[in-house]
Amino acid sequence: MRRLPPVLLEDGCSRELLSLIRTILAACKEISFRVGQGELSGVLGSTLDENIQGETQKKLDVLSNQLLKDILLESGTVKAIASEEEDYTVAGNPDAEYIVAFDPLDGSSNTDINSLVGTIFSIMKAPVGSDAADEKIFMQPGHQQVAAGYVLYGPSTMLALTTGKGTRMFTLDKTQGSFLLTQDFAAIPAKTNEFAINASNQRHWEPAMQNYINDLLAGDTGPRAQNFNMRWIAAMVGDVHRVLSRGGLFTYPTDTKDPNKPNKLRLLYEANPMAMLVEQAGGIASTGTERIMNIQPDAIHQRVAVILGSKDEVETCLSYHK
C-alpha cells in the first residue's frame, strides 16, 4: 500500500499544498485518538456553551476545534481559517497561500453513543494581496476549492480526499501513523436503491421532497416500481461515506420547522467539500435548484439545502423540483 505524500505528488500536488494537508491530518490523528478513548478521556458530554449556530457544544467539538485551529495557525501554512465553531474567521500567516474552512467534528452528538463522527475540511487559495483578517476571502464558490476531504472516525480511521483529480480513500495505519491508500478512485454507482434522510422532519418538507420520498416509500407497487432502503447515521460524514463506498442518495432538504433556518447544512464547512468529493467520484451535488459548487457565498456560516449522491437518482429527485 502506498503512502499519501507520493500519491499526491504524482498527481501534481504542490509541496505547499501537500504540507498543508499533512498539517490538517496531524490534528485529525490526535482527534482520532481522543475519540477512540471515549469516556476514558473525560471529553464526552456537552459544555454549557452554544456555538454561533445556536447549538449546544460538545466537549469534543471544542477540543477538536482547538486542535485544528492551533496546529494550522502555528504551522504558518494558512492565511486564515474559518470554523463552524468560531464566530468569525481567524487570521494566520499573512504571506501564506491557502485558506482552510472546516467542521472540526461533524456528528458530534454521536460521540455519546459511540457512533460515527468525522472532520470535514475545504482548502482554497487566498486572493492575491488580500487581508488575512478579512472574512471576504472565504466568499468563493465551491468550484474554486483546490482540495477537500474528510476524516471518518469509525472502526478504522479513514480519509477521503480529492485535489481535483478523483476521490481517493486512505486508511490510517495506527502502528506507523501513516495514511495508506486503500481505494485508488472512488466511483459512485449511477443507480441505487438506498437513500438517507431525516424522516422525522417529513411534515416540514417542501411539496417536491414530500412527493419524491413518498414515491420511494411506495416501493415496487408505487410509481418507481422499485423497493428502496432508508439509511440514516445522523452525521453527514458517515452518510456521505456510505454514498462514496456503495452509492445512494443523501439529502438534508429545505424545511419549514424553523422559518429563520430553512436549511441545516453549512455551505463552507460541509456542503462544498462534500460536493467536491462526490462530483470527483462521478456523483451530483445540488440544492434542488442549483449546483452546490456554483453558489456564491454571502456569509461564512451560510446554510444550504443538500441533495447529493448517485447520478441517476439525484437527477430523478431534481426532476420533482422542476
Parallel/antiparallel/unpaired status of strands 90-91 and 303-304: unpaired
Amino acid at 315: E
Does residue 41 have a known ligand-binding role? no
Does residue 103 have a known ligand-binding role? yes
Does residue 180 have a known ligand-binding role? no
Count other C-beta atoms under 10 Å from residue 200's C-beta: 9
Q: Which residues, 6+ apart, have CB-to-CB distance to 112 below 8 Å? A: 44, 45, 58
Does residue 109 have a known ligand-binding role? yes
Cβ atoms 198, 192 nearer than 8 A: no
Does residue 108 have a known ligand-binding role? yes
Radius of gyration of the chain (CA): 19
Residue 149's closest CA among 94, 106, 96, 196? 106
CA 263-25-270 angle, to 5 degrees, is: 10
Does residue 83 have a known ligand-binding role? no
311 to 190, 197, 247, 279: CA distances (angstroms): 5, 17, 9, 9
Does residue 198 have a known ligand-binding role? yes
The three grid cell numbers given for residue 274, joined into one nine-digit string: 462534500
Separation CA 31–CA 11 (nearest Å): 28
Does residue 191 have a known ligand-binding role? no
Under DSSP, the state recorded for 271 is I
Which residue ranges make up the annotated binding site for Mg(2+)? 84, 103, 105-106, 270
Bind-site residues for substrate: 106-109, 198, 264
Q: Which residues are annotated as a binding site?
A: 84, 103, 105-109, 198, 264, 270
